[in-house]
């Protein structure tokens, strides 16, 4: 089997792993520590995908100072407990194996802190599939998705015309578009078809198996 791509970038949360439980638990923890009014459980799904700085400031309306405090509380729980309240989606390892065996270079481009992404992928035994794992930095200098994508592509010396992003949220598709590559929307994650199509996803995959079929022909 062949592919028109030689490099495939993957988001982590909602694309490789189902991390909702840990992220939402840590968001609730941060709210409690900050003394903020609590929401219904499902509301905290807004934290899945975007950089924490964006969610705490824009969705929660916190000041810059309080955003810094809330992020610190979130990470206080996430680094010790939350990052492993997580599971690998069914079919992911088969997909990664097929793509790797076909000779594609695989990498991760996530808005999660890079060191944490590496720990999670190693914990689940997925790190062996990837040529590079890139993410955000603690100082906030590489927070936005397009920055992470561009960084990972630079590290791999990837050709824009032969690189594609796989992600489940608007930030993945928009980030890919800003960098000049296509994005396949992972509908089994946390985003909707409408969200992904509006953001410019070139294809929509209902399952990891669909991603394999789209990339290998």
| Residues forming the active site | 11
Instruction: Give the separation between CA 172 and CA 111, rounded to whole angstroms.
Output: 9
The kind and range of the H/E element at 77 are: helix 64-78
What are the C-alpha distances in Å from 87 to residues 14, 59, 121? 10, 26, 11
- 55 CB contacts (<8 Å, ≥6 apart)? 46, 47
Instruction: Give the separation between CA 171 and CA 49, rounded to whole angstroms.
Output: 7
The three-class DSSP label of residue 169 is coil
Q: How would you class 5 by CB atoms within 10 Å of its CB: exposed for 0-12, middle for 13-18, buried for 19 or more?
A: buried
Residues counted in the chain: 217
Torsion of CA 55, 140, 195, 159, to 10 degrees: 180
**Residue entry with tokens 């999670």:** 120
């Amino acid at each position: 089997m062949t592919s028109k791509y030689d490099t495939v970038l993957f988001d982590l949360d909602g694309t490789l792993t189902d991390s909702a439980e840990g992220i939402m638990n840590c968001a609730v923890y941060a709210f409690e520590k900050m003394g903020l009014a609590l929401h219904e459980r499902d509301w905290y799904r807004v934290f899945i995908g975007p950089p924490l700085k964006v969610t705490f400031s824009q969705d929660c309306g916190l000041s810059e100072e309080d955003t810094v405090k809330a992020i610190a509380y979130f990470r206080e729980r996430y680094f010790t407990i939350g990052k492993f309240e997580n599971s690998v989606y069914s079919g992911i390892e088969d997909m990664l194996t097929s793509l790797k065996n076909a000779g594609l270079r695989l990498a991760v481009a996530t808005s999660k802190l890079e060191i944490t992404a590496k720990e999670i992928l190693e914990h689940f035994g997925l790190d062996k599939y990837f040529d590079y794992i890139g993410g955000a930095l603690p100082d906030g200098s590489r927070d936005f998705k397009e920055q992470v994508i561009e960084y990972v592509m630079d590290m791999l010396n990837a050709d824009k015309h032969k690189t594609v992003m796989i992600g489940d949220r608007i930030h993945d598709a928009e980030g890919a578009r800003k960098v000049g590559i296509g994005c396949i929307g992972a509908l089994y994650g946390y985003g909707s078809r409408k969200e992904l199509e509006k953001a410019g996803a070139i294809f929509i995959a209902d399952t990891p198996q669909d991603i394999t079929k789209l990339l290998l022909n």
